[in-house]
């Protein structure tokens, strides 16, 4: 699934490979830097996070606030 990283220097489309209440694994064509603060936007959620690690085009995001399981599940619901 896709989402958007909202960053200080602009927005970046990302592919979300995995998401949990505490973080997400994303990939992008732009090299991300560790410790960068971002918002992961995947409606209906907006999650404040920081880039915990990077590896080529992949990055691990750590959410500042743990999401509830209902919030995580809402990403997959089709109303």
User: What one-character-per-residue DSSP string does 7-47 give?
Assistant: ETTEEEEEEEEEE-SSEEEEE-SSPP-TT-EEEEEETTEEE
Look up the pTM and report it. Answer: 0.91
pLDDT at 79 over 70: no
Q: What is the mean pLDDT of residues 58-74?
A: 95
Summarize pLDDT for 25-57 with one digit per residue, the tens. 999 998 899 999 999 999 899 999 999 999 989
Q: Could you give the domains of the chain? A: 2-69 (2.40.10.430)
pLDDT for position 16: 96
Give the number of C-alpha atoms closer than 13 A to the C-alpha of residue 38, restricted to the C-beta side. 30
């Amino acid at each position: 699934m896709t989402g958007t990283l909202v960053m200080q220097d602009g927005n970046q489309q990302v592919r979300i490979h995995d998401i949990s209440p505490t973080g997400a694994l994303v990939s992008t064509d732009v090299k991300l830097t560790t410790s960068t603060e971002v918002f992961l936007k995947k409606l209906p959620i907006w999650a404040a996070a920081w880039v915990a690690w990077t590896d080529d085009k992949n990055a691990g995001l750590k959410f500042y606030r743990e999401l509830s399981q209902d919030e995580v599940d809402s990403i997959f619901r089709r109303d």
